[in-house]
Every structure is written in C-alpha cells, then in structure tokens.
A and B are shown apart, each in its own frame.
Chain A
Amino acid sequence: MLEGLLIGLQTAMSFQNLAMVIAGCLIGTFIGMLPGLGPMSIIAIMIPVAISMGDPSAALILLAGVYYGAIFGGSTSSILLNAPGVAGTVASSFDGYPMARQGKAGKALTIAAIASFAGGTIGAILLMVFAPALSSVALLFHSAEYFALMVVGLSAIAAFAGTGQVAKAMIMTLLGLIMATVGEGALFNLPRFTMGIMDLQSGFGFITLAMAMFALPEALFLVLKPKNLQDDDGEIKDLRITKAEAKAIAPVIGRQSLQGFFIGVLPGAGATIASFLGYAVERNIAPKHEQDEFGKGSIKGLAAPESANNAACTGSFVPLLTLGIPGSGTTAILLGALIALNVSPGPRLMIDEPQIFWAVIMSMFIGNLVLLILNLPLIPYIAKVLSVPRNFLIPFILFFTLMGAYIGQNNATELLLLVGFGICATVLKFADYPLAPLLIGFILGGMMEDNFSRSMQLYDGIAFIWERPLTLALLVVAALLVVLPSYRARRAKARAAGVAEGD
C-alpha cells in the first residue's frame, strides 16, 4: 500500500496537477454556489475540458477538485441563503441557516469547511483500506434492503417532530411521497396523476421544490418582517470556533464520517440519505438540552450532515473503482469520463493500472486539503454576501431561485410551479408545519418506490420483509428511530411530573 501511495503522490505532486486541483476547486466552489448546478452538472460540463487533456490522472485530479469544490459551494448557498441547490446539502441548511441568521455565518461556513474536509479525508482513508473488501458488502444489498434503508432515511422526520408535531411531520412526509409519484411511474413508465398536463409528465423538479420549500418562504418572510441579516457594523464576528466547540463536534465528525462512508458505499444510497441519517442519528443520541438546539443553529446539527455528505461522496467511489458500478449520478458521469480516457474501472483496475487507482485517492486528499486552504481565507468574503443591502439581496435571492428552476428544466412552466408551491409553503410555514420532511419524502420517494416494486416482483408479494433478515433489521431500526424520541420525551415528562408531586 505504501508503494501505491507513493506512486499516487508522485503523480499528484507535479506542478501541472496542483494547478489543476486549485483551478478545479475554485471553479467548483463558485459555480456550485448557484442553485440548480450541483456537482453532477458541473462535472458534466467540465468533462470536455478533462478529456481534452488526454492524461487520465490529470483529468481525474481536475474532476476531483471540481467535485469537492461543488459540494462545498452547494453548502454555502444553503447556509447563507437557505437555498440548497443539491439534495445532499438540504440537511446542512437545517442548522446552518439559523446560525447565519444569528450572525454566525462565518462560523457556520468554517464548521462546514472543516467538517467537509474531515469527512472527505476520513472517507479517502477508509476507501484506501477497505475498497477491495467492501465491494462484496455492496453486493449484499438487494432492492429489499434499499427499500428498508430508505425507510430508515425517512425516519429522519422524527428529528423534526417536536412535541405534538409528529402528525404534522408525518403528513408532510406523505405529501412529499405523494408528489414524488406524479409523473411517469416506477413501473412500466405509465404517466400517473398528471391530470393530462404534458409539463407534469416528467414529474416535479427537485430544484423547483427545494427552492419553493426553503428559499422562497424565507425570502418572503424577510420581506414581510424586515430584519437585518447581519449586525449593523457589517463585521463578520465569531469566525473562529472555540476549543469547546471543536471538542463538541469532533466526535460527531468522527462518527458521521464512518457512517456516511459506509452508506455511500451502497450503490444508489449516496450522499443524500447519508446526510439525513447523519442528522437524525446525531439528534437522537445527543443529550436532551442539546437536542432542543437542533434546528435552531446547533453546531453539531451542521457538522453531522456536512461530514456525512462528504464521506458518502468518497464512499461512492468504492463500487465505481472496484466493480465498475457507478453508485450515484456523479460517479456515473465520472465513469463515462474514465472510459473516454481509455480506463475501464472494475476488478482489474488495481492490477492493471494501479497508478490510476492511487492517483484518484491522492487527488481526493489533495482536493480536500486545497479546498480547505483556499476557502478558509475566503470565508469572510463569502459571508459578506449577507451584508448586501436588503433591497438588493432579496430580488437577487428570488432571481436565483427562478434561475435554478429554469436551468434545471428549461421550462417556463416550472417557474409558475415554483411560485405556486412557494406560496403554499409560506402558508404551511405560517401554520407551523415543518417543510423539510416534505422535501425528504420527495427526494426519497422515487427511489423508495422503485426498490419496493423491484423487491415485490422478486418475491411475488411482501414476503421479502420477513424473509430477508437484513431488511427486517433495518425496518426495526427505522421504527426505533421514530419511537425512541417520543418515548424518551414521555419518560422525561413522567419523571418531571413525579418530582412535582414529591414536593
């Protein structure tokens, strides 16, 4: 392994390749900030450039830089403007945006950068050590287990349900799932629930919904009730994290890097589920007084999805490099790029062309490191976005939400849908319905139905639930994740009541 590492290091450390990684990170960060352009589209756009370079290692290094840059850029827009452009960064806005509202935008970005860096680096180390062994684990997961895993992901809704809010969170999740069924369905591609409208044939766009649920209501609230996003002096305070905070988030980052990586290894599960699950798990195991902080600007709630997200992105390289199976949209595009460069990933990659394998891993390390070094000094300037006068900031936020929806679908109807859903979301927000579960349901709905249908077909019924022990175990975990918080709350209440009676 040491020899391999040295090969990779040698390839990656040339001047040209370092310039590549820096350029990639910068391009990725800046384009990634635009909602609607996630890592997948940016990598797709960069592929012609990468292929024309001819050298597979250099191309991969450039693409890795772009990839990590884009993920970080996506987190930036969800933290600063509550406008997540990628499904994987939705969970980062739950706690990142409240932090930015409290004037801690700089700190939130710093935590995001550090958590991403740690997640990516730990992921790369795990990839290096476990890649060959994990490829067989990835194959153990059948569609039944994927279905169960999505159910576990949905149990993240428990994390949003405060006392007396469980039914509301549930109905929002169901609404998200219902919206995911609009359009051509999982089976036989029959159009469903389109009401005969052609523009609904392909379903609702993710970006449209994400913008309508998060960014638009937030902007409308800012219009309705003006308040300064930043303190008057425009200083970005609290840039550094204190020692106590570092101590608090370190175990979170460690746990979520591991968990995120192993979820990322499963083809199809990916960064989105990893980030939601990371958030839900951290919330459930946090002590009671910290649990209340989640959703109101908890540093743990920001660090967890950020590190899980990045570790899962790294994990998704395991099936790609060892089996040649792309586990996510992004790795599918990378697979295309590799094949165009005359490299075919698969079991023989490590034997035939070890320098490529190691160059990929080294490029991950370097991409992460360069991103951290480049972005930490840039954070005060990025956070300055919030000190743009409100009269200009709000039209721009609205414009970017519209742009994101338009670029994704190239369809003006999508913009009308965006405004319509935005109004509905604002009304729901007035009535204190949580909006995040709707989006989670929508994102996971399609995948969940696909896998559910597939396992129904394989087992000719719902027997897969008890015939596959792993599925059953995952479903039990999901049930526990939902039940445990309310049980804990009830017990705490009972105990409090007991004390009161004792007086």
Chain B
Amino acid sequence: MALDRWIALVLLGICMAYGYTAWFTMDGSLAPFIRRNPVWPSTFPKVLSILGIIASLIILFGIEKSEPKPAEIDYRRLHEYHLGQALLLLALMVTYALCLRPLGFIFSTSAFLFLGSFTLGERRWHFMLPVALIATCVVWYLVQEVLGIYMRPLPGFIIGG
C-alpha cells in the first residue's frame, strides 16, 4: 500500500476518534441551558467528522483516479538522502525547546546555531562561533530591549529565577 493511503488510514482513525468524542462523549457535561440552544459546541465538529471520514475513505479506497507524478523526494529511498543530518537537526530543535527556559536564551540559542551548522558539516570554528554569538546577541537585544518581550537571558541558577 502506498504511503498516501497509509496516511489516509491514519487520518481516518483521527477523524473517527474525533467524531466519537463529538457524537458521544462531549455532550454529556453540557449545562441544561446550553441544551436548549439550536447549536451546541459539538455541532460543527459533528459535521466535520462525517465529512472527514468520507474524504479519507475516498483516498483509502482509491476511488478518485490520480496519476502518480514524480515526487521531489522519493520516500522509499529515504536513506539515500542526508537522513541522519535531518534527524539530528530535529533532535537539536527538541533539545532547544526543552533547554530554552532552564538554560536561558543566550546560551541555548548560540549553542543551537553553533551545533546546527556543525551538524550540517561546517568545520570553520573561527567563523561559526562569532556568527552564532553575534546573531544571538543581536536577536536578544532586538526582542528584549527594542520590542520589550521578556526572554530570560542567562541560566536560571545564575540569576536565581
């Protein structure tokens, strides 16, 4: 089975779970005065779940004829591309998300930019370090000082917050 039909199967599952919530479970906790309303919080989701199930079934059973066209990246030969780099970058993004608050903006961001270019194969240290540090400081200054959006610059254990 081709990938697009597998996805349709997953989407069908999502729509059915969504529809189950909309049709059977979420109306239970409604207050009596809401029940007298012509439209409930579940009305719109009910319609959406049915349409979603129909559309995913159409794709799943291949009712609509479509001619395959060459994709930009052939997912069947994914390992031939730079898959490792992409996965490493994604892991780096997750780490960044988890570290942003505890370790502070400046450290996390410069480390992210540095390790990001390192992952992509850059090895000119004298170039990478200054670029990462300067960019971090410029963005921090813009966001914090000019725009007034608070970002914790330093790790929590240093400024004690």
Is the CB of A402 closer than 8 A to any CB of chain B?
yes
Known: A167-B64, A171-B11. A192 touches B26 (CB 8 A): yes
A452 touches B100 (CB 8 A): no
Q: Report chain B residues within 8 Å CB of A181.
A: 44-45, 48
B7 touches A428 (CB 8 A): yes
The smallest beta-carbon distance between B123 and chain A, in angstroms, is: 9
Within B54-104, the residues touching A (CB, 8 Å) are 55-56, 58-59, 63-67, 69, 71-73, 75, 78, 81-83, 85-86, 89-90, 93-94, 96-98, 100-101
Give the residue name and chain of the A residue nearest to B99 (CB): A412
Is the CB of A185 closer than 8 A to any CB of chain B?
yes
The smallest beta-carbon distance between A419 and chain B, in angstroms, is: 5
Q: Report chain B residues within 8 Å CB of A224.
A: 73, 78, 81-83, 85-86
Give the residue name and chain of the A residue nearest to B115 (CB): A395
Within B11-48, the residues touching A (CB, 8 Å) are 11, 14-15, 18, 21, 26, 31, 34, 37-45, 48
A430 touches B3 (CB 8 A): yes
Give the residue name and chain of the A residue nearest to B90 (CB): A419
B4 touches A419 (CB 8 A): no
The smallest beta-carbon distance between B113 and chain A, in angstroms, is: 5
A398 touches B100 (CB 8 A): no
Contacting residue for A192 out of B45, B78, B112, B131, CB 8 A? B45
Known: A192-B26, A391-B120, A406-B100. A167 touches B59 (CB 8 A): yes
> How many residue pairs, one in A and one in B, have C-beta atoms under 8 Å apart?
179
Interface of A is mostly: helix
Interface of B is mostly: helix
Total interface residues in chain A, CB < 8 Å: 64
Task: Determine, out of A112-120, A251-259, A455-463, the stretch whose residues face the partner at the interface.
Answer: A455-463
Q: How far is the CA of A190 from the CA of B39 in the complex (A)?
A: 13
B52 touches A171 (CB 8 A): yes
16 contacts between A and B (CB under 8 A): A34-B142, A170-B51, A178-B14, A178-B15, A178-B18, A186-B44, A192-B45, A193-B21, A224-B86, A395-B117, A396-B135, A398-B116, A399-B109, A406-B100, A431-B2, A433-B7
Which positions in A face B, CB cutoff 8 Å? 31, 34, 37, 45, 163-168, 170-171, 174-175, 177-178, 181, 185-188, 190, 192-193, 220-221, 223-226, 389-392, 394-396, 398-399, 402-403, 406-407, 410, 412, 415-416, 418-419, 422-423, 427-428, 430-433, 449, 452-453, 456-457, 460-461
